[in-house]
Amino acid sequence: MSDSSFDLVVIGGGPGGYVAAIRAAQLGLSVAIVEKRPTLGGTCLNVGCIPSKALLTASHHYHTAAHGLGAFGVKVAGVELDLPAMMAHKDKVVADNTKGIDFLLKKNKIARILGAGSLAGDGRVTVTAPDGAVSTLTARAIVLATGSEVTPLPGLTIDEEVFVSSTGALALPNVPKRLVVIGGGVIGLELGTVWGRLGAEVTVVEYLDRILPFHDLDVSKTMTRLLGQQGMSFKLATKVLAGERKGDGAVLTLEPAAGGAAETLDADVVLVAIGRRPFVEGLGLETVGIERTARGFVKIDGSFRTNVPGVYAIGDVVGGAMLAHKAEDEGVALAEILAGQHGHVNYEAIPSVVYTWPEVASVGRTEEQLKEAGTAYTVGKFPFLANGRARSMNDTDGFVKILADAATDQVLGAHIIGPNAGDLIAEIVLAIEFGAAAEDIARTCHAHPTLSETVKEAALAANGRALHV
Ligand code: FAD
Ligand code: NAI
């Protein structure tokens, strides 16, 4: 047993935890970070955001080379997939990024402690190292940033071979002939897209009557059509009753969500992507009496405090948008609060991006939410088809839709489907952060010819004066 004392001990080295640690160190606190994985960066860098984007980019290049360059007058013969090389690219990107976090911790003089952390009460954290050795850290403040794990589906067992989670789907050894994705959310569509581009027949089974149920309905409908054109099939309003191994693959038993005749669906690989749940195993929450919500998330107040003094929580483990940048912003805000400043997160201005092609990006309210709240709003919509740059890129699918308050013109939400939507949304996030009106965006000069002109035109349209439609 050894003892060490810090101002702050963070449990979990993902985007929430490592960013909280860096910001706290910048503000002069002594900080230790406890992470049980050998590499830092959490779900996002190891098995989430980064490897999925590496494969999305690589598969997009493959698909474009094989099918998309002829229209530009570029003839490419003999395009072949080298899946091991594509996976090696992904692994290298992950390794480079996770090593980068080691560098950042060293630079900021943060103690990196390898092992599983557990709350032991009175400001103490016990750490069990991979070799079983136990040590104790003491801290003025402890931050729980232990993230999330895949939600299991009753009736089937994830073996990461035939029934895979996102982690298995990021490392399949071969392109499956038939991939069935359970869950038409972000993971299902992104990883379904990867394998679809590489040649798999992809069927998405979704319990609700629409994909991307947390997005604006316009977005869900348009994406169903566009992904359908790319070859993805959808079984909406359908529930999975059971899944079993059959030969080298699997068979699923499905039923309409509202009840009715059951049917079976064969697959070579089944991806379970029905959401994620908080990860708190072995964390000792019960030891110190930390309260949780009905859905199992660690309960916090507006300043990230749990019910136990000195213990705070951020990121996926507290729920809300389960996104890396939300976890990071909470990490920064909490570190600032712990250093006596006024850290704050504006939850109305958190973008959400789906990295399919075209991309989907949203921020703020959806039309359905505004209707439900009885808010009078205006809609400004502009299609990429009417944008010169999008035409030159042959990327004309989608639109920018801006929702503004009917009385004040303040921007309340935006929903984009289109090329580089994930980058284009940043301007509207900033507008929401600054409390800007649609007219503020409309009167801002945008370079020509750029995709960003679609945002300006949608803002003009919200005031009834788009120029190019
Ligand atoms: P995590 O990143 O999950 O990190 C928690 C860390 O805590 C883990 O490393 C874990 O090993 C460690 N830990 C847990 N318990 C203990 C313990 N007791 N002791 C020590 N260590 C412990 N978000 C985006 O914004 N953009 C994306 O493009 C995106 N893509 C994704 C793709 C996939 C396939 C998945 C699964 C997720 C994706 N996400 C994306 C979500 C994103 O990964 C999470 O929102 C983010 O990682 C949450 O950060 P966190 O710090 O809260 O938790
Ligand atoms: P999700 O919440 O995005 O989607 C889950 C989908 O599964 C929903 O459409 C839901 O209706 C459906 N579903 C739930 N139970 C079902 C059942 N029994 N049968 C069929 N369908 C069912 O969750 P997902 O895709 O697993 O992603 C988890 C989290 O990871 C998300 O919260 C997301 O924010 C994050 N993530 C973010 C990414 C990004 O920002 N680009 C990429 C990937 C993940």
> Domain for residue 466, yes or no?
no
Residue that is last in its domain, among 227, 247, 274: 274
Pairing type for strands 163-164 and 263-267 reads unpaired
Q: Is the CB of 437 under 6 A from ligand 1?
A: no
User: Cα-flanking dihedrals φ and ψ of residue 280, to 5°?
Assistant: -135, 15
Residues 17 and 143 in one domain: yes
Residue that is last in its domain, among 274, 307, 331: 274
Cα(201)–Cα(179) distance, integer angstroms: 6
Cα of 16 from ligand 1 centre, angstroms: 8
Contacts of 146 (CB under 8 A, 6+ apart): 11, 12, 278, 279, 280, 283, 317
Residues 128 and 174 in one domain: no
Q: Is 141:310 a contact under the CB 8 Å cutoff? A: yes
Would you list which residues are annotated within the binding site? 53, 117, 146-148, 183-190, 206, 275, 316, 322-325
Cα of 318 from ligand 1 centre, angstroms: 12
Please give the positions annotated as active site.
448
Q: Which atom of ligand 1 is nearest to the CA of 12?
A: 7
Q: Is 290:120 a contact under the CB 8 Å cutoff? A: no
AA letter at 235? K
User: Cα-flanking dihedrals φ and ψ of residue 66, to 5°?
Assistant: -75, -35
Residues 139 and 179 in one domain: no
Q: Point out which residues pair with 415 in neighbouring strands.
A: 362, 401
Cα(188)–Cα(210) distance, integer angstroms: 13
User: Given this model, what pLDDT does residue 68 score?
Assistant: 84
Nearest to 314 by CA among 1, 3, 8, 12: 12
> Domain for residue 318, yes or no?
yes
Residues 184 and 201 in one domain: yes
User: Given this model, what pLDDT does residue 246 score?
Assistant: 94
Would you list which residues are annotated within the binding site for FAD? 53, 117, 146-148, 316, 322-325
Q: Is the CB of 112 under 6 A from ligand 1?
A: no
Q: Is 301:278 a contact under the CB 8 Å cutoff? A: no
Q: Point out which residues pair with 239 in neighbouring strands.
A: 255
Residues 141 and 11 in one domain: yes
Angstrom distances, CA of residue 270 to CA of 150, 181, 234, 290: 14, 6, 14, 36
Residues 327 and 359 in one domain: no
Q: Which atom of ligand 2 is nearest to the CA of 211?
A: 9
Nearest to 80 by CA among 69, 68, 65: 65
Cα(327)–Cα(242) distance, integer angstroms: 34
The pTM assigned to this predicted structure is 0.97
> Domain for residue 291, yes or no?
yes
Taking phi over 0 as left and psi of -120 to 50 as alpha, with beta for the rest, 195 belongs to: alpha
Cα(227)–Cα(233) distance, integer angstroms: 8
Domain count across the chain: 3
Q: Which two tokens stand for residue 384?
A: 């990429």
> Domain for residue 179, yes or no?
yes
Nearest to 199 by CA among 339, 79, 367, 375: 79
Residues 140 and 286 in one domain: yes
- Taken as a whole, the chain contains a residue count of 469
Q: Is the CB of 284 under 6 A from ligand 1?
A: no
Ligand 2 pocket, mutate which of 149, 158, 187 (most atoms under 8 A from CB): 187
Residues 363 and 305 in one domain: no
Q: Which two tokens stand for residue 423?
A: 């980058």
Ligand 1 pocket, mutate which of 19, 23, 44 (most atoms under 8 A from CB): 44
AA letter at 399? F
What would you measure as the largest C-alpha separation in the chain, in angstroms?
A: 71
- The CATH number that applies at residue 34 is 3.50.50.60
User: Given this model, what pLDDT does residue 308 score?
Assistant: 98
Residues 13 and 63 in one domain: yes
Residues 21 and 130 in one domain: yes
Cα of 323 from ligand 1 centre, angstroms: 8
Cα(61)–Cα(68) distance, integer angstroms: 9
> Domain for residue 467, yes or no?
no
Cα of 195 from ligand 2 centre, angstroms: 17
Q: Is the CB of 315 under 6 A from ligand 1?
A: yes
Q: Is 179:268 a contact under the CB 8 Å cutoff? A: yes
Q: Point out which residues pair with 204 in neighbouring strands.
A: 181, 234
Strand ranges in 57-122 using DSSP code E only, listed in sequence order:
111-114, 116-121
The secondary element (H helix, E strand) that includes residue 179 is strand 178-182
Cα of 422 from ligand 1 centre, angstroms: 20
User: Count of alpha carbons within 13 Å of 323, Cβ hemisphere only?
Assistant: 15
Residues 136 and 23 in one domain: yes
Describe the crossing of helices 421-433 and 453-462 by its angle, rounded to 10 degrees.
50
Q: Is the CB of 183 under 6 A from ligand 1?
A: no
Contacts of 163 (CB under 8 A, 6+ apart): 156, 157, 243, 250, 270, 272
Residues 187 and 119 in one domain: no
Regarding an ipTM greater than 0.90, the answer is yes
User: Given this model, what pLDDT does residue 2 score?
Assistant: 44
Residue that is last in its domain, among 321, 345, 369: 345
Ligand 1 pocket, mutate which of 9, 10, 18, 43 (most atoms under 8 A from CB): 43
For the chain, which ranges sit under pLDDT 70? 1-3
* Closest C-alpha residue for ligand 1 atom 47: 44
Q: Which atom of ligand 2 is nearest to the CA of 49?
A: 42
**Where in the sequence is the domain holding 244, given as residue range(s)?**
163-274
For ligand 2, residues with CB inside 6 Å are 153, 182-188, 190, 205-208, 213, 239-240, 273-276, 322-323, 353-355
Q: Point out which residues pair with 121 in neighbouring strands.
A: 124
Cα of 164 from ligand 2 centre, angstroms: 14
* Closest C-alpha residue for ligand 2 atom 17: 207
